[in-house]
Amino acid sequence: MVQTLSHSNSTLDRCHSNYLAQISIEITQASNRTKDVVAKLTAVASILVPLNLITGIWGMNVTVPGQTGEHDGLSWFWAIIGFMLFFTIGVLSFAKYKKIL
């Protein structure tokens, strides 16, 4: 009976160490998934925050570029929209280059 108890004890010791190793692997995998999600959210935020700043300043009730009396055309509007598109494409291409997205 003592021999059976000793054998069961050693089996439980091995099972416990295997269980702890499995838990460690699962925690590492969850950490890696979290890191990937945070990297993607950072890439999206680096696009949206500057664009939000530009549109927020442009949408205020103040004089913006192109609203002076001498330039009533849409050239400033398209220039700002073009800059925003250029910025977005640049950040997206950088994120693809670094394999973030």
Asked if the model's pLDDT at residue 12 lies above 70, the reply is yes
Report which of residues 18 and 80 the model is more confident about.
Answer: 18
Q: What angle do CA 96, 78, 71 make, to 5 degrees?
A: 150
**What would the pLDDT profile of 31-79 be if each residue is shown by its tens digit?**
999 999 998 898 889 889 988 988 887 777 766 666 666 666 677 778 8
Q: What is the CATH number of the domain that holds 52?
A: 1.20.58
Instruction: Please give the full DSSP string across 53-86, using - where no structure is assigned.
Output: HHHHHHTSSS--TT-STT--SSHHHHHHHHHHHH
C-alpha span between 51 and 90 (Å, rounded): 13
> Is residue 23 over pLDDT 90?
yes
81 is in which domain, residue-wise? 2-97
- Per the structure, the count of domains in the chain is 1
Give the model's pLDDT for residue 73: 67
